[in-house]
Structure formats: C-alpha cells, structure tokens
Amino acid sequence: MKVIRTIPEMQEHSRGARVAGRTIGLVPTMGAFHGGHESLMRAARLGSDELVVSLFVNPAQFNDPRDLEAYPRDERRDAMIAERLGVDVLFAPPAEAVYPAGFAATVSVPGISDVLEGAKRGPGHFAGVSTVVAKLFNMVAPDVAYFGQKDAQQVAVIRRMARDLDFPVRIEVLPTIREPDGLAMSSRNVRLSPEERRRAAGLSAALRAVAEATEEDPLRAGLAVLAEHGITPEYLAMVDPDTVQEPGPLVVVAASIGDTRLIDNVLIKRAATPDRRGADPKGAVRVLPTQ
C-alpha cells in the first residue's frame, strides 16, 4: 500500500491509473477505523480497480474546537487495517496542504445543509463537508465514491452537490454497521464510559420503536424509549432522505450521551398503503425496517 501526502502526487497517481484503464474508487474517512469504515473499504475493493482511502480529520467541519481536539487519531493502526483490506493508496494529506494560507473558496448546498445536523452544528458544518469532499473529488478523480448511510444527511448533501456541480462520480451508499446491541459504530463510541455505552443502545432501540410503531404518531414510541434510557434527544424526526424535510420515511436521531454527541437513523418502508390494501379504513399501516 502506498501512502500519499501531497496533492500533486495524488493527482499524478490517479492520472496514471486512468491512463492504464483502471477504475478508481474513493472512500473518504476521518480515520479511527471501525467496522463501518471496513465495510465501505470491502465494497470499494470489490467495485474498483484502484482503491484510494483518504484519511483527513477535516477541521472545517468541526464546529466545536474541543471535539476536533478530542477526535481519536491512530494513523498507524488505520494504515495496518487499510493494508489488510487491500487498499492501494492511503491518501493522508496534512491540513496545510488541503487549506494553504489564503484558502477562501467554499462549496455549499443551502437548504439540505441548514436543518437537523446543520441547525445543531451550525451552517459551517456541511459547508466544511461539501467543500472537502469536492476537493477530494478533484484530488483523487474517483469513478465511484463510497459513503455510509450512518451519516444520512451528509449523503443527501453530497449527492446534491455531485449532481449540481456535474462531478463525474457515482455515489455508492452502504448500510450502517452496528454493534451487537444495535449501537451504530462510530469513531466517537470509544469516548463513552461503560455506563454511557449501555445507555447509548437506546438510540437505535428508539429508531426501531418508531419503525415498528403502529400508532398515529410513531415518534412518541421513540421518545418513550429514549426517555427509558435517560436520553434527551436534540432531535427525533421523520424526514425525506433526499431533501431532509419532514415528512418522510427516514427516522433520524441525535443526542449527547455525557459529552459524546451521537447520531443514527433508519429508513422505514410502509408495508402496504391503505389504498393498495383497499380495506383498512383507519389506514393503520405498519412500518417495517429495511436495514
């Protein structure tokens, strides 16, 4: 596995791969690899000839400097995992290379970026994400880029950006990888105390409760589960996966457990509409989890 740290070298490497007729896959990450990252790398390994994994803790998307400071970093371990999974290039540029003195441009996707995570973390968060992903697309020139459903709003922002700016890249989204108790894997999970770690399972339990609820307002079932786990959500909502506006089948939740802020989501699908069934006058439709 090659480790590349400069942008010209990355661009040159991708040019060479393209000339050789090799398709390029990109998995953008902030490191501290877990099963979620590994699943993206495995899919990308199967789906592309030249596999590039970027490792860059992007300061521009952190609204809280303490969160940036505390973000787990272990490049040696990450490099070992990437190598084991057959990654060709670990692209790990320093912040000064990505944001040199005088850097001023921004790529932003207003609307989708302003609600939920954008509202909680501030307008700069998704601008930081879309700007760095646009830059990575220009640095790596991937045919396919892989993202996790875990960050559903990020997926919506990046899909919109790629479409609106005509990036010649296909966006692949892979399911959320979870711990046995349902907690979505996250680099931040290592910061949970044992007691917080137990309570954190309430997030996915709440999403399941919403997905399985039969009452008129399924969110109430989710709120009850969160309360049982001593979790006060920043938001729990059902939104459209593309616009991130209510209403819709994507159930999203965010909450801080102690000092650690976690997010999760699940996509639900109505088993049958009253119309298609033609019978149930109350429209008592069940919602089923699809992941």
Instruction: CB nearer to ligand AMP: give 139 or 185.
Output: 185
**Contact call for residue 260 and ligand AMP (CB under 6 A):** no
Instruction: CB nearer to ligand AMP: give 37 or 125.
Output: 37
Instruction: CB nearer to ligand AMP: give 50 or 151.
Output: 151
Report how far residue 47's alpha carbon sits from residue 24's, in angstroms, rounded to the nearest whole number.
Answer: 9
Residues binding ligand AMP: what is the number (CB under 6 A)? 17
Closest approach, Cβ 184 to ligand AMP, in A, equals 5
For ligand AMP, the binding residues in 144-203 under the rule CB under 6 A are: 147-148, 150-151, 174, 176-177, 184-187
For ligand AMP, which residue of 37, 197, 199, 208 counts as binding (CB under 6 A)? Answer: 37
Instruction: CB nearer to ligand AMP: give 75 or 285.
Output: 75
**Contact call for residue 29 and ligand AMP (CB under 6 A):** yes
37 annotated active-site: yes
Report how far residue 116's alpha carbon sits from residue 236's, in angstroms, rounded to the nearest whole number.
Answer: 9
| Sheet-wide strand order for 250-257 | 233-239, 250-257, 260-270, 287-289
274 by DSSP, 3-state: which? helix
For ligand AMP, which residue of 10, 24, 36, 56 counts as binding (CB under 6 A)? Answer: 36
For ligand AMP, which residue of 26, 40, 133, 213 counts as binding (CB under 6 A)? Answer: 40
Contacts of 206 (CB under 8 A, 6+ apart): 222, 223, 225, 226, 229, 231, 233, 236, 253
E strands within 108-222?
A: 144-148, 170-174
The sign of the torsion formed by the CA atoms of 148, 151, 152, 155 equals negative
Residue found by looking up tokens 């990036």 in the block: 167
Nearest to 51 by CA among 94, 97, 2, 11: 2
Closest approach, Cβ 147 to ligand AMP, in A, equals 4
Closest approach, Cβ 156 to ligand AMP, in A, equals 12
**Residue 191 dihedral angles phi and psi, to the nearest 5°:** -85, -5
Contacts of 217 (CB under 8 A, 6+ apart): none
Residues 13, 34, 37, 229: which is the catalytic one?
37
Instruction: CB nearer to ligand AMP: give 67 or 218.
Output: 67
**Contact call for residue 54 and ligand AMP (CB under 6 A):** no
**Residue 17 dihedral angles phi and psi, to the nearest 5°:** -60, -40
Which residues are tagged catalytic? 37
Q: Which chain residues interact with ligand AMP by CB under 6 A?
A: 29-30, 36-37, 39-40, 147-148, 150-151, 174, 176-177, 184-187
